[in-house]
């Protein structure tokens, strides 16, 4: 076959690349330093939930930031559907970044696979790099 006929298929799906892309795609995370992204990637652990499970309950104290690896979730606020989220997206970041309660509920529409990082680790990564940066001046 001619070279021009070849269709290239990209196989991504490594943990690091999925998480890095998800962070870069998120309005609140895309400005992180490269070192912070690397550390978040390092600290994220895998978890999974069955279809129908509540991942996040609106109004709760937030303890975890997630990256969705596989499956679909639905975001609702006061019972109203806001959107669905698919693989490669961050969610659950707002309560941790803004130190507020969960702004919406997130429910698994399918069995899902997630990468997770706990609030304490996430905030430490945010602060540590900020501190190093600050101390350079």
Q: Which residues bind ligand CMP (CB under 6 A)?
A: 56, 62, 75, 82-83, 91-95, 102-104, 106
How many Å apart are CA 38 and CA 49, to the nearest integer?
25
What is the smallest separation between the CB atom of 42 and ligand CMP, expressed in angstroms?
22
Question: What is the helix (H) or strand (E) element at residue 78, kind and residue range?
Answer: none
- The answer to whether the beta carbons of residues 74 and 106 sit under 8 Å apart is yes
What is the smallest separation between the CB atom of 75 and ligand CMP, expressed in angstroms?
4
Query: Residue 55: helix, strand or coil by DSSP?
Result: strand
Least Cα distance to 49 among 117, 91, 111, 115 occurs for 111
Closer CB to ligand CMP, residue 41 or residue 96? Answer: 96
Closer CB to ligand CMP, residue 40 or residue 56? Answer: 56
What is the smallest separation between the CB atom of 103 and ligand CMP, expressed in angstroms?
3
């Amino acid at each position: 076959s001619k070279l021009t006929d070849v269709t290239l298929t990209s196989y991504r799906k490594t943990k690091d690349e999925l998480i890095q892309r998800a962070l870069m795609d998120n309005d609140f995370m895309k400005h992180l330093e490269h070192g912070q992204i690397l550390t978040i990637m390092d600290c994220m652990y895998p978890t999974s939930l069955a279809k129908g499970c509540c991942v996040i309950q609106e109004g709760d104290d937030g303890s975890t930031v997630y990256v969705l690896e596989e499956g679909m979730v639905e975001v609702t606020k006061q019972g109203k559907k806001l959107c669905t989220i698919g693989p490669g997206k961050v969610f659950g970041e707002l309560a941790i970044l803004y130190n507020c309660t969960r702004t919406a509920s997130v429910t698994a529409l399918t069995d899902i696979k997630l990468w997770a990082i706990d609030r304490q680790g996430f905030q430490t990564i945010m602060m540590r790099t900020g501190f190093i940066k600050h101390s350079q001046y």
